[in-house]
Amino acid sequence: MKRQRKEYLTRREKTVDFLIGFIGWFILNGLWWGGLSLASWLLLQFSDTPAGTDLTQFLESIGEVATAVLLILPLLLNLALLIRFAFTRYWIAIGAASAFASLLLLTICAGIVWTVACFTILASATP
């Protein structure tokens, strides 16, 4: 089944799709990371067995693999959804890319503020 590119007739349709992509990106990724946090908490709760047992080692090895997969999977899903929406409903893709870019910009600004704060604190310290 071939997906057809949506033809936008009004500016309102573009705006709605952009907002769906922008807000939807935060919602989907927030739910994903909330579920990941819950899963890691549950894994820690169930792995309270005495150290050195085979079960503990098994749970630790499964936890490492599961953590790696669960950390890589959202990156791949975000990329796949961006590519899919770029070909079908490109204003949703632009909204999702804008959400990602806005968080990247916030991270850069927070890094600059943190760096200035650290240098200020270190420079004002008296020996």
Q: What would the pLDDT profile of 16-44 be if each residue is shown by its tens digit?
A: 999 999 999 999 999 988 988 887 777 76
Over residues 95-119, the pLDDT tens digits come to 999 999 999 999 999 999 999 999 9
For residue 5, being part of any structural domain is answered with: no
* CA 1 from centre of chain: 30
Percent of the chain with pLDDT over 70: 83
> Is the residue at 4 inside a domain?
no
Is residue 91 in some structural domain?
yes
Separation of alpha carbons 4 and 21, rounded Å: 18
Domain hosting residue 112, numbered range = 11-124
Tally the domains of the chain.
1
CB 91 within 8 A of CB 18: yes
**Residue 83 included in any domain:** yes
